[in-house]
Structure 1
Amino acid sequence: MNNLTYNSPILVIEGLDVPHRFIYPVFVLLLVTYLIILITNIGVMLLIVMDRSLQQPMYLLFFSLSFNDVLGNTVVLPRLMFDIVSTDRSISYSLCVSQAFFSHTYAASCHTVMMIMAFDRYVAICHPLRYTSIMSPAMVAKLTASAWSTSITLLSILLGLTVRLSRCRSVILNAYCDNASLFKLSCEDVSINNIYGLTFSAVLLSSSIGNVTFTYFRILVSCVSKKNKEVNRKAVQTCTTHLALYLIMLWCAFLIIILHRFQIHNSYRKMAALLFHIIPANMNPVIYALQTKELKTKIVQILHSKVNQLQ
């Protein structure tokens, strides 16, 4: 594809730099990873939908997180696997914009849903007697709807600023379509895109970091003051895994943003973008489902009944 094509309706994705002998092993690895993401996250979602006892604020947040993980990886991984084994990596401009929109929606919602979950843990640990009145199903629904609608609105503006640009290139220098790769196709002045994109990222990340820092500081103060070993143990177990996952996600997000602004270490940026999608989506069901007594009990009951049926 000629890189000088003007406003070409067909683009080419650069994809992952995989040596020829590793193409099929990498494909199989990504396929297995994607199937695990689908099975575990959809399993958690179905369990929450079908069991009325699990339709509580905390589990509704689990549902939102799992839905986001399935959405983000379904948008990216199937296309990425196709590009690894195919010699034709062409994609229509409209489909590329759609992929960029949903992949950015996934990234933004990761942070907004995590913020709600951090607040949920803060209320549960620091104000247990007021938990049901503060984190009611209606409140969780409002917070979740606000998180998704805010992300979608701001991202619509972000992609709208990119779509208005004319294009003088046709190669997406990434493993999949994203906003920065799309506006880099233009030979026009993209200062507005850079300013809005960086401002959006700065506001989102600072809000996310500020929220998590505040809630975890208050949780730490509460644990120290209460001096209840059992409560502190549960709080540490819950918060440590949440914080570890959050820091991995945050580090990958920073790498993507920084490396997009500097034309170096292109392969590192691609790897960071891929890890941002697959690590949280694989760890979330384990961390939030299997460490939650009610969900773990339901899963064990289902597995036990299946084994009895087979016998």
Structure 2
Amino acid sequence: MYVNASYMELLTLAPLDLTATSMYPVFVFGTLTYLIIVLCNLLVLATIAVSKKLHKPMFILLFNLPISDMLGSTAFFPHLLFSIVTQNRVISQPACITQAFLIHFYGSGNMLILSAMAYDRYIAICCPLRYNAIMSPKKLIRIIILIWLINFSMMFTLFLLLARFRLCRTNVADLYCNNPSLMKLVCEDTRINNIYGLLSVVILMGGPLLMIIYTYAQILRTCVMTNQTDARKKAFQTCGTHLVIFLILQINTIFTFISHRIQSASPYIRRLLGISILLFPPFLDPIIYGLKTKELKQSIEIFLKRNIFSTKL
């Protein structure tokens, strides 16, 4: 459908294809999922904030992950739930671009945060005597500022390049707004956007992937060489948890991007992969870290006993 861009304000997202009987169960499931994501991530944030023994580089870096997760979930779930209730898939163009920006900001932010956490584990395991000097408070603050600065500047530039176009179509191919789907609505020359988009993927996905490969290879080498069984077990447990979360996000994101560039790719598989990016990491991050990281697990239990269960007694 082609229309004059100057008159275009509303876009239409891909239909949910819900029947009258399935609409309410899906709404309840979506609401509960969003509430669990928010509450679990807030619990991790609050626990790290109030527990002094968690005021270490590893957990201060981890503190940024729930913020990013909640940002991505909030960009997606409220509008989805509203669409289910109203059976209306229309979204304004500014709202669509804002949603796309926040979702991409969440995804790339998680990649950068996880790579910084991998670097922290690498220093802690491979250079334990220099850990405090390398991961000093000043350097830690610089790392965190750099993460958010790189993320914001690259995503802002990406969508600034998109905003210069006038959209000539209205039907968004996915269940939520994202840069590849919005680019399909443009009828002008998008070569600069495509080049910058590929550059962003290389930097924001390839960079963290190389960081993970290098740091984990060094960690594995150190763990194999060490004779301390307890230290080796703790290292594998911490790094294994981190690697699972990283791979879930990385693999799903890669396949989603690839499916956008393959014309014959099933749109249903692409939408399923797209939703999984916004569902599994925010849902699993606090649960996996809370259960597998001993210090955090103990601090969460203490926090709940002091602030939740004590009020009921």
TM-score when normalising by structure 2: 0.93
SS of the equivalent of 1:5 reads coil
Residue 274, structure 1, aligned to residue 275, structure 2: yes
Give 1:56's aligned residue.
56
- How far the C-alpha of 1:53 sits from its partner, in A, is 3.4
Distance 2:32 2:78 in 1: 11
Whole-angstrom distance in 2 between the partners of 1:17 and 1:141: 46
What amino acid is the match of 2:26? V
Which residue of 2 is the match for residue 284 of structure 1? 285
State which drifts further: 14-23 or 206-215.
Answer: 14-23
1:287 alignment partner AA: I
- Whether the 8 Å contact between 2:97 and 2:177 is mirrored in structure 1 is yes
Deviation, structure 1 residue 115? 0.5
The residue aligned with 2:240 is: 240
Contact 2:256–2:273 at 8 Å: present in 1 too? yes
After the TM superposition, which of the residue ranges 212-221 and 122-131 deviates more from structure 2?
Answer: 122-131
Amino acid at match of 1:152: F
Does residue 6 (structure 1) correspond to residue 8 (structure 2)? The answer is no
Structure 1 counterpart SS, 2:12: strand
Q: How does 1:197-208 map to 2 (within 5 A)?
A: 197-208=197-208
> Counterpart in 2 of 1:262?
262
Cα distance in 2 between the residues matched to 1:139 and 1:56 = 13
Could you say which residue in structure 1 is the equivalent of 2:43?
43
- Correspondence for 1:32: 32
- Mapped contact 1:15–1:173 kept (Cα < 8 A): no
AA aligned to 2:207 is: S
Cα distance change of structure 1 residues 24 and 211 upon mapping to structure 2, 3 Å threshold:
same
What is the 5 A alignment of 1:137-176? 137-176=137-176
Tell me the equivalent position of 2:190: 190
Question: Which moved further from structure 2: 21-30 or 276-285?
Answer: 21-30
Closer/same/farther in 2, CA of residues 16 and 199 from structure 1, 3 Å limit? farther
Structure 2 CA distance for aligned equivalents of residues 228 and 20 of structure 1 = 60
Shift of 1:17: 4.0
d(CA) in 2 for partners of 1:228 and 1:18?
A: 56
- Counterpart-to-counterpart distance in 1, 2:59 and 2:141: 12
Which secondary structure does the structure 1 equivalent of 2:302 belong to? Answer: helix
Q: Report the aligned-residue RMSD.
A: 1.7
Deviations 1:177-210 (A, max 9, x none): 1111112111112222222212211232211111
Task: Tell me how far apart the structure 2 counterparts of residues 240 and 145 of structure 1 sit (CA, whole Å).
Answer: 26
The amino acid across from 2:279 in the alignment is I
Q: How far apart, in 1, do the equivalents of 2:19 and 2:215 lie? A: 45
Equivalent AA in structure 1 for residue 246 of structure 2: Y
Question: Quick check: 1:17–1:267 contact (8 Å CA) kept in 2?
Answer: no
Q: How many equivalent pairs are there?
A: 309
SS of the residue 1:91 aligns to:
strand
Q: Deviation of residue 22 (structure 1)?
A: 2.5
SS class of match (1:276)? helix
Identify if the C-alpha distance between structure 1 residues 309 and 103 changes in structure 2 by more than 3 Å, giving closer, same or farther: closer
Q: Which moved more, 1:184-193 or 1:146-155?
A: 184-193
Encode CA deviations 1:208-234: one digit per residue, 9 max, x unaligned: 111000000000000111122111111
Q: Distance in 2 between matches of 1:102 and 1:225?
A: 43
Q: Quick check: 1:4–1:169 contact (8 Å CA) kept in 2?
A: yes
**Can you list the C-alpha shifts for 1:80-119, whole angstroms capped at 9, x where unaligned?**
1222332222111111111111111101111100110000
Give unpaired runs (5+ residues) of structure 1: none
- 2:103 is aligned to 103
Is residue 256–residue 273 contact of structure 1 (8 Å, CA) maintained in 2? yes
Deviation at 1:62, TM superposition (A): 1.4
Which residue does the alignment assign to 1:307? 309
Deviations 1:43-96 (A, max 9, x none): 111222233332221111111001000111101111112223322221111111
CA distance in 2, matches of 1:292, 1:138: 25
1:227 aligns with 2:227: yes
CA contact (8 A) 1:112 1:208 kept: yes
Preserved CA contact (<8 Å) 1:165 1:183: no
Could you say what secondary structure the match of 1:245 adopts? helix
- Counterpart of 2:305, as a letter, is H
